[in-house]
Each structure stands twice: as structure tokens, then as C-alpha cells.
Structure 1
Amino acid sequence: MSRPDLSERVGALRKLRSAQDRLRERRTIARRDGARVEVDGRWLTAFCSNDYLGLSQQFRVVNALADAATRGGVGAGASPLVCGHHAVHEALEREVADWLGYPRALLFGSGYLANLAVQQALLLEEGDVCVQDRLNHASLLDATRLAGCRLRRYPHADPEGAIRQLRSAAEGAAMLVTDGVFSMEGDVAPLRALSLAARVQKALFYVDDAHGVGVRGPDGRGSVAEARLGLEEVPLQLVTLDKAMGGYGAVVVGQDALIQHLAETAHPYVYTTALPPAVAAASLEGVRLARKEHWRRANLGDLVTRFRNRAQAAGLQLTLSDSPIQALACGEDAQALAWSAALEQAGYLVTAIRPPSVPEGKARLRITLSAMHAPGEVDALVDALARTRDALAVRTAAAEPAGLEG
């Protein structure tokens, strides 16, 4: 039996993706100015960024980065347990833990690494199981596979389905894992019901609130706080610093013993260089601004309401979401690409999302709103969406074969 040629495999897979309208192209951002970006020599208004509070370009965040780099350089120098854990890392961990009301926090290079770390360090033995929402982020699913434990998935936002899966795998340690705000749908997990399911089934409840903290809940403390849950119900929670906070990295907050275990044993923490201190300084300033500048959340909420009201009046079909993530269903992959291309011609950058990021037949536009957007920009986007829908409908009708007579 001959060994497969990997180059041939790669070529065949690319041809398959091309036939399925699933080739992915990086767009190069030459410059940014608020919500506007320069791409291929044209200025477009971006409605696809996760910079929900508009902090990534805020002058205090930028100055914190520059000042820290001037004083202490760029790289951390080593992994955290060697000599890479700096005072600003410590300050950032303490700030996030204090904000969310948790005793301790641990800083990671990204949310992906943090999710890998949590499961790899805790789900260790044969028979352990991780029960997850079917629409969880890919990093949560990849983490289960890396941990080598069993993966059980329940229907989206279905606490009873979660209980059934936990009951069916009762012999090992269990973790119940969900996004707080789902990144492709924009809806919020039924956290109170899920926390009850975890408690009844003696499973550790872990919430990835990458798209919730900074945006939702009292003082922006996220979907967990919004559901009136805390340390007892949610012993571990993920916060990313590269979305609402405008920086980079991620923090896991949780029970002291759990965080200490992660710091001592989690490979994505132990065996990688610490986040650059200057980046941590910028993220720390972003967290402080997100905590106290409540007007940013208020403005964002007004824009979300405005967008949904005008979209409904225009007859646009959106998923149920009161978050900055607004999904417009397109169905087939080619249709989503056509929507995105038409909007770009009209001056808007809105990315088409296709499988495997979403289920088969569920391609969509993932429209995201930011506190940087002006009301007039939101109104103009809705008008452009309505025009695009009508133009594509005419094009589709013209392409359909005429019916047979007689």
C-alpha cells in the first residue's frame, strides 16, 4: 500500500473548497480610522469587527502600549514560570478578577490557548467527559479533542439536552461548557438553567464569555453576571481582551485552587512565552475604560436597537439577538459571498460566514456593531442591505429557467 502524497491531498482539498464556494481570502487592512478601513485602495465602513466598545484605537489604550514598550521593551523574555511574568501581567489579572468578582485570574496569550488549557489540565482520566452546546466556538471543541476525553454535544441552548448527555456519561469527571454569547448567532446561553444542570450532575460549569464581558450585564461584567451567577455556580470563566477591551490576550477567572492548578500544569500556559508586557499594559487600560465608561455600552445598545428596528421595517430576516452580533441568513455559500461582494461595492465591509464556521446550509452575513459607528452609518447599512436583497432577488429570478407551456 503506497503512502498518500500530502501535496496531492492539499491540492485536492483546495479544489473541493473551490467547488463548494469555501475558499478563504485574507483582506489586508492598510489603515484604520474609527470604523472605517482602507482595503485595496478604497475606504470602507467595517461592520465585521469585534471591537465592540471602540477601544482598540482609543488614545489612552494606544498610549499605554507605547509608554510600556518605551520603558520595558517588547517581549516578555520567557514563559511565565521562568521569568516572563511581569508586574503589569499581575496588575491585569488582579483588575479582571476584581471586576468580575472572582478571587483569582490567569492571563493567556489568546482565548484559544485558554480554552485548550482549561480542558487539557482538568479532564485527565479515562472516562472523563466534556458536554458542550452544539454551536460552541471551535476552540472549545478542539480543546476536548486535545484533552483526549469524550465529547458529548447537546442541541443549541437546550439545558434538558445537556442533562441527558451528562446522565449518559456518569462514570467519569464531567465538565459542562458553553459560550456565554454565541459568536455566530449573537444569542445568549440559558446560563441559569445550565448551571442548575451542572450542579445536579456534579459537573464543573465553564463559560466562555468572550463576546459578553464588556458588553453585557451590570457594569459590563458579562452574561454570567447578567444571569445573576457567580463563583459558586460558574467556577471558571473565560474573558478575552481582544474584543470589547480592544487589546489582546485572554484571562481565565475562577476558584483559587483551580487557577493555581492551571498555572502549574496547563501546557498552553507553562510552555509558551508570556504575553508582551506592553500589550498587557494596553489591555489593562482597555479593561479600566470598559469598567467605568458606561456610555460606550449605552451607545452600543442604542445602535443595536436602531439597527434591528430599521432592519425589521425593511423586511430583513435576522436571528434573534440583542447583542452587537447580528446575523442575516443567506442559506447557500455562494449567496452569502454575493451579498458580501455587493455590500463592498456599496462601501461596506461585511464578511460572509460559511461552513465549517456555521452548519451546512446556514451561511450568513455576520454583522457586528461598534460604539464607533454613527447612527447615520447604521441607517445607511440597512438601506444597502435592502437594496442588495432586492438586486440579488432580481438576479436570481432572471437566472431561473422559464416554466414549460401547455
Structure 2
Amino acid sequence: MHPRTTDVVGNPLGWLDSHARRREEAGLRRVVRPRTPDGRTPGNPPHEDPAHPLDLASNDYLGLSRHPEVIEGGVRALRTWGAGSTGSRLVTGTTTLHGDLENALAHHTGFASALVFASGYAANLGVLTALTGPDDLIVSDERNHASLVDACRLSRARVLVIPHADVEAVDNALAERSWQHAVVVTDSVFSADGDLAPLAALHAVTRAHGALLVVDEAHSLGVVGPGGRGALADVGLAGEPDVIATVTLSKALGSQGGAVLGPPAVRAHLIDTARTFIFDTGLAPACAGAALAAVEILTSTPDLADDVRRHARRLAALTGAPRPAGAVVSVVLGEPERAVQAAEICRAHGVAVGCFRPPTVPPGTSRLRVAARADLTETDLAQAAGAFAAALGTLPPGVPGPPGTPR
């Protein structure tokens, strides 16, 4: 039976039950876990959910989401501008605060200009759909984030998905010259694997072919490069005329929102053509105020980026994972059930970690995704060591290492 055939005549959603059963059998059901302000999951027995769990699951890489100055930046904006932005950026949704944030982001990352969107997802959709069309080519890494995958699908351009971090494949794709404009798009730090794209080599190839390089810096802003300026700044590519970056404000900056960074002409073009900018409600002022405060902290405290990278290396050593490029430590375990079991054992020991399963990662590579933070203490790391020892030590033998070949 086709998976979407109705199970009961007249019930167009009857297929959902059988679909849910198949996902349950494959270990792929997702659960939404509400948390209280102290990080607990309401209703869980104390032995399954300690009073103060250690958060190694979130993307709050610098621990800024609860920083007093970041909170005050959001509160001050809330009192000044109100709860919502009241409209799209082109109508009433742009405040002077949005402009201040854009200037701060551009200055910190080394780009000429920035344009803030309501989310990082919207920024990725906006930039690729505005810069490409039916006569163009997008070359996309196979492990790019879902927002980039969706942007490629919506662009109407021809899309070539190439093996992970394969510069030669990019070169070959661009050499066809069956395109009017071409864009190479990649994450800088990949969100599930934690590895770094070969940005310098990719840029050399794109420049040689007259193409554009678009890099999602979501997991490198605040973590990679001098003072957390990002992976592009680390290899000297920030501000190059054929390089565009996207960032999110919801990870290292502890707030919400996204931005596109690049030449002023790109900013002007996006204002005119990016549908996720034109038709979406502008970023809430409180989020803009909090993000601006976070950028100011990052600029004045550049050692934060060093701290999070050092803690990530410690966590990788505790789990036997590969050395991470940023904050993301990827502990590949194999089948979904193994990853779920390990994550639950960690939780029982007071440590929350991410549990990534297909389709987020390739079949056979379900994993724990452990996220380091700059504000971890020696006590935190000792607690993590105990949890990992319990979780990984109870798994059956034969736990695979990181995936050796691209999917």
C-alpha cells in the first residue's frame, strides 16, 4: 500500500497512523520535551531528571542567552519599542536598533554590510532565492543544513549536490559552463558532524570560474576565528567581493534571528527581491537588542571563542570523538536505538545531549551531538565525563567511529 493511501474511506489523514507506526518501529519518533527555567523536564521522576541538569544539547555556545547584559539589552528594547516589530521591515518593522545591529554584525565579521532577517532559516532562503534563477547553477555540499537544502529547492536553479567537502567535484561542476550565474554554497562548520569546510580551496575554485561563494556561518560565528569573527575571517575571506555569509543570532549570540553579510550591492538587491525579507514580519526588537548586546560582549571579550573551542576538545577526548572545528562534538553510534539509549543514560546522569537520527544524518550514523559552551566549569566537565562513561560503556561492542565515506 502506498504510504499516503487513506486507511479509511473518507479520511484523508488516515495514512498518518501507519506512518507513525513505521517511524516508531525504526526508532525515529521525535518527542518535544518542555523544560522549566532550571532546565528540568516537567513530570519526570527525580532520578530521571536531576534538579540542575547540565546542558550540552543547546546551541548557546558562549552561554550568553542568560548573560545579564544580553537580557538587559532585550528588556531595554522591549520597553523602548514594544513587544513586536509591528510589520515587515519595509513597512514599519525596521527600527534604528535593527540598523545598529546590522552595523555591529558587519563590523565584527569583517563584511561591508549586513541585512537582518527574522531567522537564520529565512536568511538562507532569502539569499539563495534572490541571487539565482532558472538559468543558474547552485553547487551544494551534501551535508548542508536543511535551510540551505530548502533554499536550493525554492531557487528554481539547477542544483548539483556534491560529495561532502569535495573541492574537485565543485571544480568539475563549475567547469560545465552551462549556467549564466553560479553559486557554491556550504556550511562553514557543519551542524551535525562538527567539521570545517575547506573554505580557502572552495574560494579558489569558485573565483577561478567566476562563481559566487555563499557560506553559512551559523555554527562558527562567535566560536571560530580570531575573537569569534567566523571561519571566513579565520582564512582571510571575510569581505571579499565574491563571498557572502549568512549567520544566525540564535546560537553563539544567544538571541533569535539571522542575517546576510556581504557587499552593499547584495544588501540592496535583497531588500528589493528577497521574499523572506519583503513579506516576513521584522525581527522583534527584544531579539535585536539582545543580539546587539551579545555582539558587544563578544567584541570586548574575544577569549570567549578560545574557551568554547578548548572545552569542545575536552568533550571530544571524553567521548572518543574526532577533534572538533568549533563547539560541535559528534559521537557517532550507528543505529537510532543506540543513540537514543545513550542519550537517555546521559539524561539520567544529569547531562542533556542532542540525539541526531535520520533524516538529519545518514542511515547508520545516528549519534550524540554534544555542544560545548564557553562557561563550562571543571565540575561540569567532571559530570559530563561520568555521564559519558556510563552511556558509552553500556552500549554493546562494535560502536562505529565517524562515517568514513560521504552519503
Shared fold per TM-score greater than 0.5: yes
Counterpart residue number, 2:332: 329
Does the 8 Å contact 2:213/2:244 carry over to 1? Answer: yes
Residue 101 of structure 2: aligned partner: 92
Displacement of 1:393 in angstroms is 2.5
Which residue is 1:359 aligned to? Answer: 362
Identical aligned residues as a percent? 33
Distance between the aligned counterparts of 1:116 and 1:320, measured in 2?
Answer: 31
SS of the counterpart of 1:259? helix
Q: CA RMSD in A?
A: 1.9
Deviation sequence 1:9-45 (CA, Å, 0-9, x none) = 322322221121100001111113xxxx212353321
Cα separation, 1, equivalents of 2:159 and 2:79: 46
In 1, Cα distance between the equivalents of 2:135 and 2:378?
53
Alignment of structure 1 residues 7-406 onto 2, 5 Å: 7-32=13-38, 37-40=39-42, 42=49, 43=51, 44-124=53-133, 126-168=134-176, 170-232=178-240, 234-309=242-317, 311=318, 316-393=319-396
Does the C-alpha gap of structure 1 residues 116 and 71 become closer, same or farther in structure 2, counting only changes over 3 Å? same
- Provide runs of 4+ in structure 1 moved above 6 Å: none
Q: Where is the helix percentage greater, Structure 1 or Structure 2?
A: 1
Segments of structure 1 that go 5 or more residues without pairing to the other structure are 397-406
Paired residue secondary structure (1:205): strand
Deviation at 1:387, TM superposition (A): 2.4
What letter corresponds to residue 181 of structure 1 in structure 2?
V
What SS does structure 1 have at the residue aligned with 2:395?
helix
In the aligned structure 2, how far is the partner of 1:222 from the partner of 1:395?
Answer: 37
1:225-270 deviation digits (Å, cap 9, x = unpaired): 1111122265311111111111110111111111100011110000
Is residue 300–residue 370 contact of structure 1 (8 Å, CA) maintained in 2? yes
- The AA in structure 2 aligned to 1:104 is S
- Distance (Å, rounded) in 2 between the aligned partners of 1:298 and 1:144: 34
User: SS at 1:351's partner residue?
Assistant: strand
Distance, in Å, in 1 between the alignment partners of 2:104 and 2:94 is 16
5+ residue gaps, structure 2, are 7-11, 400-407
CA contact (8 A) 1:303 1:375 kept: no
Shift of residue 305, structure 1, vs aligned partner: 2.9
Please tell me whether the aligned partners of residues 129 and 169 of structure 1 are also in contact (alpha carbons under 8 angstroms): no
What is the distance in 2 between the residues matched to 1:226 and 1:303? 19
| Structure 1 residues 233 and 395: alpha-carbon distance in aligned structure 2, compared to 1, 3 A threshold | closer
1:333 partner amino acid: P
Q: 1:278 to 1:161 in 2, by over 3 A?
A: same
Name the TM-score, length of structure 1 as normaliser.
0.91
Give the AA of the match of 2:116.
L
Q: Partners of 1:18 and 1:372 in 2: how far apart?
A: 37
SS at 2:368's partner residue? strand
In 2, the alpha carbon distance for the partners of 1:156 and 1:173 equals 22
Q: Distance in 2 between matches of 1:105 and 1:48?
A: 29
Question: Deviation per CA, 1:197-245, whole angstroms, max 9, x where unpaired?
Answer: 1111221100000010111111211000111112226531111111111
Q: Is the 8 A contact 2:193 2:330 kept in 1?
A: yes
CA contact (8 A) 1:180 1:191 kept: yes
Aligned-pair distance for 1:172? 3.1
- Distance (Å, rounded) in 2 between the aligned partners of 1:114 and 1:264: 14
Deviations 1:336-371 (A, max 9, x none): 111111111111111210011111111000001112
**Hey, what's the Cα distance between the residues in 1 that align with 2:241 and 2:213?**
7
Secondary structure, in 3 states, of the residue corresponding to 2:14?
A: helix
CA contact (8 A) 1:317 1:329 kept: no
Q: Which residue of 2 aligns with 1:399?
A: none
> Residue deviations 1:354-391, cap 9 Å, x none?
01111111100000111222122113212321222222
Distance of 1:368 and 1:393 partners within structure 2: 24
* Distance apart, 1:322 and its partner CA: 3.5
TM-score, normalised to structure 2, is 0.90
Residue range with higher mean Cα deviation, 290-299 or 205-214: 290-299
- Distance in 1, Cα, partners of 2:104 & 2:114: 9
**SS at 2:295's partner residue?**
helix
What count of residue pairs does the alignment treat as equivalent? 385
Secondary structure in 2 matching 1:153: strand
Amino acid across the alignment from 1:38: R
1:176 touches 1:205 (CA, 8 Å); kept in 2? yes
What corresponds to 2:9 in structure 1? Answer: none
